[in-house]
Amino acid sequence: MIPFIKMHGLGNDFIFIDKKDLPISFNAEFIQKIAHRKTGIGCDQLIVHSFLSPKRYSMEIYNADGSSAKMCGNATRCLGLHIFEQHQERDLEIIVGNKVLKVKILDNGLIQANMGEAQFEAEWMPKTSAVTDIAYLYGLNPKEIVCVDLGNPHIVIFYNNLSDQDKHSLGDRLQKMFEKIGGINVNFAKFIENQIDLEVWERGVGFTMACGSGACATFAAGKKLKFIDQDVIIRFHVGNLFMSSLNQDIIMSGSAHKIATGSYYG
């Protein structure tokens, strides 16, 4: 039996397992089984976490298909809440890959995470011509499509009119285009009344209810294009994320919720 915790951030759901409790046979097949929504527990991502020292923790992120991910904003907030409930630590650090994320439990109950600085140049980013071709194919403005690196790869697409069918088609097309890096997170962003409605296709998962790193990428892209010059609310299906900046760092604040604890029998 493997003890687990299930949590969600705005409907983006996770299974958390302490690294010391992992089975010897921990592999992609195990992840796919536990993430299955009919025969497993069900989740968008499996999070393996470890205690390193007081106020310092680490987490590894695995998508439902068994592939690994390098960043997840919603999981960061969820782990921050779990640690606070266990150890009453309001300020802590969570190490994800080579990034150290500073997490704070706010007095209003929201969890704030400093997600670091976004990058707009990386080896995986395509030539401008490739983005232009796709933009024109779907009636989009190529100047309003931005690639963003937050430790994981994102492409942010600002649009006015794009059908759900086109979003699925474009999301699938971009997975094939970025197949060499394991796919890409696709962010469909629409400004409504000075807020942003966001839908995200997460690589290795598909469309999810919310994506914290996608919100950060969208905020960074909006600032780069000068669509945003202040704090902004990013809206998902079941709630909002509050985005701001500190120097060049992206600050994300939002809720997190514990759903259940239990034992997985495999």
Which positions are annotated as active-site residues? 72, 211
Please check if 161 is assigned to a binding site: no
Measure the CA–CA gap between 83 and 147, rounded to whole angstroms. 33
Residue 132 in tokens: 């232009």
Contact indicator for 220, 42 with CB cutoff of 8 Å: no
Contact indicator for 142, 130 with CB cutoff of 8 Å: no
Please check if 171 is assigned to a binding site: no
Please check if 151 is assigned to a binding site: no
Please check if 266 is assigned to a binding site: no
Please check if 114 is assigned to a binding site: no
Please check if 247 is assigned to a binding site: no
How many of the other CB atoms lie within 10 Å of CB of 30?
Answer: 19
> Helix %, strand %, coil % for the chain, to 5?
25, 40, 35
Please check if 116 is assigned to a binding site: no
In eight-state DSSP terms, residue 110 is: -
Please check if 45 is assigned to a binding site: yes
How many of the other CB atoms lie within 10 Å of CB of 105?
Answer: 21
Please check if 160 is assigned to a binding site: no
SS3 annotation, 67-134:
CEECCCHHHHHHHHHHHHHHHCCCEEEEEECCEEEEEEECCCCCEEEECCCCECCCCCCCCHHHHHHH
Q: How far is CA 46 from CA 108, 206, 239, 242, in A?
A: 28, 15, 22, 25
Please check if 90 is assigned to a binding site: no
Please check if 12 is assigned to a binding site: yes
How many of the other CB atoms lie within 10 Å of CB of 63?
Answer: 24
Instruction: Determine the distance from the C-alpha atom of residue 201 to the mean position of all C-alpha atoms in its chain, rounded to a whole number.
Output: 10
> Which residues line the annotated binding site for substrate?
12, 45, 63, 73-74, 152, 185, 202-203, 212-213
> Which residues line the annotated binding site?
12, 45, 63, 73-74, 152, 185, 202-203, 212-213
